[in-house]
Structure formats: structure tokens, C-alpha cells
Amino acid sequence: MSIVSRPSGGASLLGGSIVLPVAECRHALPPRTVSPWAGEPGTAGTVAVVGAGKMGLPLAAQFASHGWQVIAVDVQEAVVASINEGRSHIGEEPGVADLVAAAHAGGRLRATTDGTAAARDADVVVLIVPVMLDAAHQPDYGYMDAAVASIGQGVHRGSLVIFETTLPVGDTRARYAPRLEAASGLAAERDFLVAFSPERLYSGAALRNLSTYPKLVGGLSPASSARAAAFYDGVLDAEIVAMSSAEAAEFSKLADTTYRDVNIALANEFAAYADRVGVDIREVIAAANSQPYSHIHQPGLGVGGHCIPVYPHFLLSRAPELSLVARSREVNDGQIEVAVEAIRAALGRLGGTEVLVLGLTYRDGVKELAYSRAIPLIARLRQAGAQVLAHDPLLSDAEIRGLGAEPYPWGSPAGARAVVTQTGDPRWLELDATWFPDLAILVDGRNTLSGLALPASVSYRGIGVPGRG
């Protein structure tokens, strides 16, 4: 296949859109099954995937589709039962359900809650469980520490352990290799190998991403880098990049996501200036991005999801002097105030005012609330005395109430004086101002409704987009 030390290329930034082609599978399938597996091309062994959630299950399905025996490990018994019945428990990943069913039917995929037994049976262990943030914006290792403890006693001579969960720089070597050594009684890089390979998956496109984005791999030693690269070269169709160290691979993921956070913060500051000088930031960004070295992102009400709001803090936890990174987090988190102040300016007060928030997931089309900006937006509006209604086609009424808002039935009359869009769901284009006789302002948090017909009495406020009314 293709193992390189540097990525061979990338897409042009011209126009601000990047779509990489899907790599064709060039593997000779099925591979020859061997035990133990030692990295020989054209062979396959057994891999344990620890964490069978939204990212872990696509990985498990992908590995099984390339001839490996896969053991999915998860603490949730319902998840394990579902996989052992040949069913995917995640409903928003194209192709995953079919791969899971095929792998189960072919006897290549099973699941268990017993991490120790899975690691004992496996040649390779891939860990992909969450490391998020605690209340102080420091890494919360609870799930990962438990996952490492669960496999530790099953690690054996010849094991390869790969961390795919994004980690602060140095954690693979300094935090987790010693824990594996202590639990197994073996020595890392002598008896077993350890590497880091960041997942680079986007909800709703995981399998496509696995066939497009170069797979980055860095080990604690050249031997672990080579073995991990050989593993991924056998199960993925994209280019494999064997990096110089685990630390370089760890840093690459943090650099990737932090770049996007800083870029979005810059776009948000540009949007604020566009408001001041009366120009449309969308026109400015499109023009700037026609120069291929410019790739300015889009402004909005902030950044949600598991990655971009989180991983800059992983950098800051080790390097608080990175002031640009810290400032970007402040800018993006502060965008909620743009909506609140726009409503206050239009209405004069928020106390007792009915406000409708549209879109509660962190982005449209994905039922995931991780760091969604709707959550602090609702809290901030309620703090100011507003009565908050909300609608999201992906959430139940109970889920909406759990976020502190009263469910709004789409299309029904309501007394909302302000509407705020927190996602860019195409459904919002159906919005009819006649549903809200007292409506005074529409705050377009993702700049997707500037062409919406509004009565002269309703003002429009985008993010860096000239207002109306």
C-alpha cells in the first residue's frame, strides 16, 4: 500500500472548500490470517477496539471489512448486545450498519465488556474513548484511565497498543505507557509496543474520512511506529504517514483543530468589523479566499462539537503562554453575547420576553449536544429574564426541556418577539414571520437566512451581514 514519512499532498485551498477524493481499495482480500500477527504485509490478526461509540464502531467495522477479527469493547451492555446481534447502535453514519451486519454474519466481529480478555486475545488494541474537559477546562481522563486499566492485565508480549483518542502532547509516553507497564508487568518497547494515531473523523462521514484523510501514526520508538503503520496500511485505503514520534502525532491533531478554532475566531472578529463598516463579511471572505493562500472560515455564534472547543485547552493545559490560542477560545465562546445584545438592542429589555432558539445540536443534521452553543445561549437568555422556546427536529420535547427551554411545535403560532438560529438547518428557510405576530428581530446565527422574506417591522441581524429593518 502506501506508507510515507510526509503527506504526499493535499487539496487546494482555492475558494475555501476542501474535498479530498476517496482512495480506492488496493488490498488483496481476504488477507492471510496469522497468529500472532507481526506486521507482515498481506496478513491479518485480531484487533480489540476499546470504545464502540460513534467513532469506535466505524473503526471496528472498517477493520473487519479488511479481514481482521475484531473484538469491540464497551462498558455499556446495550451496546455490546447490539453488536453481538449484528446491529449498529449509531444511526447517522452512512455505511456502518451494513458493514457491522456483514462482519457479524462473517464471524469477524463480536463485542464484550471484558477489556482484559479482549486485550489478551488481541494482537492490536486500539483505544478510542473520550477525553473531554473538566469544569476548570483541564483534560478529564476519567474514561481513558478506566479503559487503560481495563486492558492493562491483558497486554502481553507482542501486543501493539494504539491510542486514537486525542491526547495532550506527551500523554502516550508519560501517562499511559507506564500504566500499561505497571498493569502488565512488561516493558514498553521491549515486550510490547505503544503508538498514537489520532482519529480524524467527522460525524456523518466517518467511513468516507477513513478513505480520504492521510492516517497519521507515531510511536514511542521506530519499531512501534513501523508496526502501527503496518497495521493501518492493512486496514485503511488512505495514505499512512509514519511520523517521527508519538509526540509529533499528538501535536498534529491539536494543531489541526486549534488552527480551525483560531481561524473561526479571526472570522468572528472580521464579522464584527464588517458590521462597523457596513459590508457583508460573506462577500469579503469569498473574495479573499479566491487567492489560494487564504482559507478564512465562516463566522457564527461560536463553535461546538467534541473537537474544536476542546483540544485548544489540551494545548493550553501544557502551554498556557499560547496567548493567541487562549484569546481565540474567548472570542468564540463570547459570540453568544452577539445574539443577546442584538435582541436587547432591538427590544430594550429581555425580562419577560419570549425568545425562540432554533437548532440545539452543535451542528445541523447531527444529533449531538457536545459543547453546543445553544446550551449557554439558553442559559444566558434565561439569566436575563427571557422565556425561552426552542425547536430542533433531532430532539424530543423531553430533551429540549432538559436543556432549559420549552418545546416549540414547528409552524404553530407563538408570542416570540425574537428568533435566534444557532444552527444552519435548511428547515429554517421555511420560517414564516406570520407565525409570530409580535416578532421584532431575527438573529441569524449562521448567516443562512439573509434572503428570508420578513415584514418591514422585523429587523434582521446576521453575523457580519448588513441588517434590515
List, for residues 18-58, the tens digit of each pLDDT value: 677 888 898 988 999 999 999 999 999 999 999 999 999 99
Q: Indicate whether 468 pLDDT > 70.
A: yes
Condensed to tens digits (0 to 9), the pLDDT of residues 375-391 reads: 999 999 999 999 999 99
Q: What is the pLDDT of residue 5?
A: 86
* Residues taking part in catalysis: 253, 307
Say what the pLDDT of residue 1 is.
54
Neighbour-count burial of 77, counting CB atoms closer than 10 A to its CB (0-12 exposed, 13-18 middle, 19+ buried):
exposed
pLDDT at residue number 12 = 52
Domains of the chain: 3-244 (3.40.50.720), 254-333 (1.10.1040.10), 336-461 (3.40.50.720)
Q: What is the pLDDT of residue 15?
A: 47
Average pLDDT over all residues of the chain: 95
Q: Which residues contact 156 (CB under 8 A, 6 or more apart)?
A: 119, 120, 184, 186, 192
434-454 confidence digits (pLDDT tens): 999 999 999 999 999 999 999
Predicted pLDDT of residue 155: 98
Query: Which amino acid belongs to residue 6?
Result: R
**pLDDT category of residue 9 using cuts at 50, 70 and 90:** low
Give the model confidence (pLDDT) of 78-101 as tens digits: 999 999 999 999 977 999 999 999
Residue-level pLDDT at 26:
87
State the amino acid at position 22 in one-letter form: V
* 203's grid cell: 460525524
Model confidence at 292, in pLDDT bands (50, 70, 90)?
A: confident
User: Quick one: what percent of the chain has pLDDT higher than 70?
Assistant: 97
pLDDT at 10: 59
Q: What is the DSSP string of 253-288?
A: HHHHHHHHHHHHHHHHHHHHHHHHHT--HHHHHHHH
Q: Residue 132's CB: how many other CB atoms inside 10 A?
A: 16
Q: Is the pLDDT of residue 11 over 60?
A: no
d(CA 425, CA 393): 9
